[in-house]
Amino acid sequence: MGVSVYRRFMDYRFLGRTGLRVSPLCLGTMNFGNQTDEAEGHRIMDRGLELGINFFDTANVYGGPGGPTEEIIGRWFAQGDKRREKTVIATKVYNGRDPWPNASRLSARHIREACERSLRRMQTDHIDLYQMHHVDLDTPWDEIWQAMELLVQQGKVLYVGSSNFAAWHIVKANETAGRRNFLGLVSEQSKYSLIERTVELEVLPACLDYGVGVIPWSPLGGGILGGALQKVTEGRRATERIQQMIEANRPQLEAWEKLCANLGAPPADVALAWLLANPAVTGPIIGPRTIEQLDGAMGALDVRLDGEVLAELDRIFPGPGGPAPQAYAW
């Protein structure tokens, strides 16, 4: 039982069923403008490109009112040196900070206006992957796709993705898109980690069947899969939320960190490598606050887990038992 280490190289992957190649780790920018100031955010993005990471994720509401995270990215793009050309930029639409009734969700009007604002903030003429941050059950799919089709025709959006969708949302969205001769969803961002495996029931099977690439967010389970027990033992302070999560999962975490220690690999690397071993996954989102955290995350690309380790991880974090309905009815 163990891990294999191979010479690191950036093994670019196709985003779902598209011909777009993206890095197996997606650089999340949610901390930029909050926990990470602009200068450090720029350094992190520069370092990401140096390491071969070409896939960056953001959202129109990250960083607080006005979308400052997108603005930070825009000022980074404006520095030139082919930063924009090298980057596959993904942002999101749905949420809004304005209380007016049409300033959020997925009406054709809001999609159009939100896209224009994101383009201005990021100082770019197109968004590579425009993701619906949540499903809008009140807006017909024909209206949503009409708006997205127009943005694609105008060259303002290249691909469309989703986030936090149920499997039936993905199916309904892509069946409607197919009837309109439109590509439809090519990616889905889901909360997915060793301690949150609900998407294995239906979301992952639907994504595999429809050629939708899965982009896991919170791949370290909110931080507790990154060696939380060891950090507390070493005297590092943990937030109240992390402390509560540790106590709720202590037996599993003890077995988890013991396994990682036996493997000689950092827990965060093993957690990311476990996701990367799944054929449904395009690449998990990492959210470094510092360059050091970004450099550390690259170790996951050096880890290959053998069948015995994968089986042991299933024992520690059993998940739902596979896809539905086999997981509970067969």
- Residue 237 inside a domain? The answer is no
pLDDT greater than 50 at residue 30: yes
Peptide bond into 140 cis (omega under 30): no
pLDDT greater than 70 at residue 121: yes
Q: How many domains does the chain have?
A: 1
Bridge pairing between strands 55-57 and 88-93:
parallel
- Residue 125 inside a domain? The answer is yes
CATH number, domain with residue 47 = 3.20.20.100
- Residue 39 inside a domain? The answer is yes
- Residue 228 inside a domain? The answer is no
- Residue 261 inside a domain? The answer is no
pLDDT greater than 70 at residue 1: no
Domain encompassing residue 133: 3-223+267-329
Long-range CB contact pairs, 243-247, < 8 A, 24+: 245/221
- Residue 247 inside a domain? The answer is no
Give the tens place of pLDDT for each residue, 265-322.
999 999 999 999 999 999 999 999 999 999 999 999 999 999 999 999 999 999 999 9
- Residue 99 inside a domain? The answer is yes
Active site residues: 62
> Cβ neighbours of residue 319 under 8 Å, at least 6 residues apart?
197, 200
Tokens of 60: 């129109």
Give the span between the Cα atoms of 177 and 156, in whole angstroms: 18
- Residue 243 inside a domain? The answer is no
Give the tens place of pLDDT for each residue, 218-275.
999 999 999 999 888 777 777 888 889 899 999 999 999 999 999 999 999 999 999 9
